[in-house]
Copies of this chain bind each other. A is one copy, B any other.
């Protein structure tokens, strides 16, 4: 069930790595498509798909009749808001860690039932943890995983990237997510988890993750520390 990396994904990763390793600046023109085909020894359609992926994820931009250029962010201390899947991809690159309060099996209340499209008798893993990085608190997370799709979870797994585990070990094909967020004033209890004061500001993010088949499997609520986290999104507006 392990998700295979497709050829175009592999090529996309190699191009991205090359940009990072060579430290290419924004606006640098990359090799043209013919050269990339030769360089990576793949078909035109594989290169096109790889470039499309890199364009959508904000690594490059393509100018018709002119070439392929490096896109780069001005600010590197920001977290990628599109990759913060319950604190995974992007944040796992940081020298950070989770402190896990508990991983329990619970029966879902109405709120969870509605978001995970499950029944009152279904089992759900409830994970409560805090993300630290460089000695700073990033956020307080409460997540609910449907046991039907994530058959096993424990404290040790929750100390790392749960998403990597879900994808690689449980074989869940992650498809899409609905993300809702707004700014709040902290209540005393949540403020305590973040080492902040009551009524301090915070970003609250609620996200429902679905498999590629459209089944919700994870409801995640993260409250981010307003002083310790900043975010970016690279949009592709075409």
- Which residue numbers of A lie inside 8 Å of B, CB to CB? 27, 56, 58, 61, 63-64, 66, 69, 71, 73-75, 78, 81-82, 85, 114-115, 174-185, 200-203, 208-210, 212-214, 224, 226, 229-238
Contacts and interface: CB of A to CB of B under 8 A. Distances in A.
A61 B176 contact: yes
A70 to B, nearest CB: 10
B236 A176 contact: yes
A74 B176 contact: no
B63 A224 contact: no
Contacts of A229: 182
Contacts of A174: 237-238
A51 to B, nearest CB: 14
21 contacts: A27-B214, A61-B214, A63-B212, A71-B214, A74-B178, A74-B208, A81-B181, A82-B235, A85-B237, A174-B237, A174-B238, A175-B238, A176-B236, A176-B237, A181-B230, A182-B230, A183-B202, A183-B203, A184-B226, A185-B201, A200-B201
Q: A-B pairs with the 4 shortest C-beta distances?
A: A201-B201, A183-B226, A182-B230, A179-B233
A233 B231 CA distance: 14
A112 to B, nearest CB: 13
Contacts of A27: 214
A28 to B, nearest CB: 11
A232 B74 contact: no
Nearest to A58: B176
A6 to B, nearest CB: 10
Central interface residue in A114, A183, A209, A230, by most chain B CB within 10 Å: A183
B178 A232 contact: yes
A212 B60 CA distance: 11
A201 B180 contact: no
Nearest to A66: B213
Nearest to A177: B235
Contacts of A231: 180-182
Contact of A183 (B177, B183, B234): B183
Contacts of A81: 181, 233
- Most chain-B CB neighbours within 10 Å: which of A82, A177, A179, A214? A214
